[in-house]
Amino acid sequence: MRRKIAAGNWKMNGTGAALSELDALAQALPPNPPSVVICPPAPLLYRACEVVAGKGIDIGAQDCHMQSSGAHTGDISAAMIADTGAIYTIVGHSERRAAHEETNAMVRDKAKAAWAAGLTPILCIGEALEDREADNTLNIIGGQLAGSLPSDVSAENTVIAYEPIWAIGTGKVPTLAQIIEVHDFIRERLIARFGQDIGNAIPLLYGGSVKPDNAATIFKAENVDGALVGGASLKAGDFAPIIAALAAC
């Protein structure tokens, strides 16, 4: 059985007052919930870890630097993230790849840095609208997998999130058939590279306009093991039904 994970990416949203949503979310968790991860902005990491202690929610960062220390003004190392009590970090999100020109090699090095600090990277991949319209999705996904994933991947140290860029925050959602096609393709590539045991066990999350009213349908796909949720993770009332839908699968 693969781990089921419901991860929330708050992006650049929230101040200390938003941490009350974590208490509300903890109270709304269903019996036997999946793994729940919230990735708030970096200034909230330490306080978020304090709020959720013992409440069934883990905390992650939204990015980390590939170096452990040095002259990198404004950046945060994986060791600094781990020092807050967080245990996950997102790497390779499309917004980082685009706005900060992060390459596959940079994402791979960030995943390695996360491992070195004892963090689990949630490694993101996804195609732009022009790639989808040109029927080039699987080529893009295959290239990102090959270039971004280090060779020492295991089911315990890495989570992969497929997020079609054109669906992030737009309200547009791929059809279930399109999600299944990509997730099955990712699974096949993982098995081909890492073998049946590892390739079959790595959790694959879907992200991109996941909401309470579509989550249950998305989670029916065999190779969808959870979700990386953006806007709907900001409020416990929106995220809790998504978590419940995953728990029910």
Catalytic annotation, residues: 93, 163
How far apart CA 93 and CA 98 sit, in angstroms, is 9
Q: In sequence order, what DSSP letters do the residues of 150-189 get, joined into one string?
A: -TT--TTT-EEEE--GGGTTTS----HHHHHHHHHHHHHH
Query: Is the CB of residue 141 less than 8 Å from the CB of residue 185?
Result: yes
| Cα→Cα distances 58→37, 74, 214, Å | 5, 24, 24
Say which DSSP state 95 is in: H
How far apart CA 176 and CA 179 sit, in angstroms, is 5
